[in-house]
Amino acid sequence: MQKDIVLSVKGVTKSFGGLKALSKINLGIGKGEIYGLIGPNGAGKTTLFNILTGIYTPNQGTFNLDGKDLAGLKPHLIVKAGLARTFQNIRLFGNMSGLENVMVGFHVRTKTGVMGAVFRHYRAREEETNLRNKSKSLMDYVGLDPELTQPSTTLPYGDQRRLEIARALATNPKVIALDEPAAGMNPTETAGLRDLLVRIRRDGITILLIEHDVKLVMGLCDTVAVLDYGKKIAEGEPKEIKANPDVIQAYLGGELS
């Protein structure tokens, strides 16, 4: 059955000096699926994420979200178009509480202008109250206590990961790109993360996932693509990827289980 493509990547190439980090990458991510992106260290996975979210500009190629060309746009415009992300290295606002971090995510969709925020008129106060309540609901959604007031960086590691996901969800994305969300988690935290990702997909948000936990990827994703030395060497359902000899070779002969 043909997929309803929400995020399309065509011919994306990126070089840094003489090093070609990505070479003619093509991806078609279906609406409502969990799409995994795996590969050895240095394969180009995070570089691709950085291109899709406006941190890098591709040397060649295009990508679009629901038919809208995003290549070359600034990060905040890409977020506004509906593509949000988390980072391999957690990037929370450390001096803010968890609730305040999530509220920052909502501000990409706010209507109050600068003057309203400065003079605190009725509509601005009403909108802030609404955002606070929505942020509390999102924290509860990802499994965090909405009443936490301590600085976000004092939270346990797994909670910081969940908080970053909540902040990304606050932007109301069509696609959320997660860069190694299970990194550093223990088995219990990873199982909880898996349940959360299933719930996010069930609620209508497409997930693009970079993850080194191959077991998590193979048990969770609908489609998996494999990068190696900046090239896509395989794409398909998890069972096809596990049996692909090029993929096994890329992982130095190890088993994909």
User: Helices (DSSP H) in 203-244: which residue ranges?
Assistant: 214-220, 238-242
Question: Of residues 167 and 111, which shows the higher confidence score?
Answer: 167
Amino acid at site 156: P
Question: Of residues 31 and 185, which shows the higher confidence score?
Answer: 31
Q: What pLDDT was estimated at residue 253?
A: 54
What is the pLDDT confidence band of residue 114, given thresholds at 50, 70 and 90?
very low
- Nearest of 62, 41, 65, 39 to residue 232 by alpha carbon: 39
Q: What pLDDT was estimated at residue 155?
A: 86
pTM of the predicted model, to two decimals?
Answer: 0.88
Task: Indicate the average pLDDT of the chain.
Answer: 88
Tell me the average pLDDT across 100-127. Answer: 63
* Cα gap 109→172, rounded to integer Å: 8
| Burial class for 33, CB neighbours closer than 10 Å (0-12, 13-18, 19+) | middle
Q: What pLDDT was estimated at residue 156?
A: 86
What is the pLDDT confidence band of residue 115, given thresholds at 50, 70 and 90?
very low
DSSP string of 118-150, one letter each residue? HHT-HHHHHHHHHHHHHHHHHHHHTT--TT--S
Q: Which fold has domain 5-250?
A: Rossmann fold (3.40.50)
**11-20 contacts: CB < 8 A, separation 24 or more?**
11/60, 11/61, 11/62, 12/48, 12/51, 12/58, 12/60, 12/61, 12/62, 12/63, 13/58, 13/59, 13/60, 13/61, 14/44, 14/47, 14/51, 14/56, 14/58, 14/59, 15/59, 20/230
Tell me the average pLDDT across 178-197. Answer: 92
- Give domain limits for the chain: 5-250
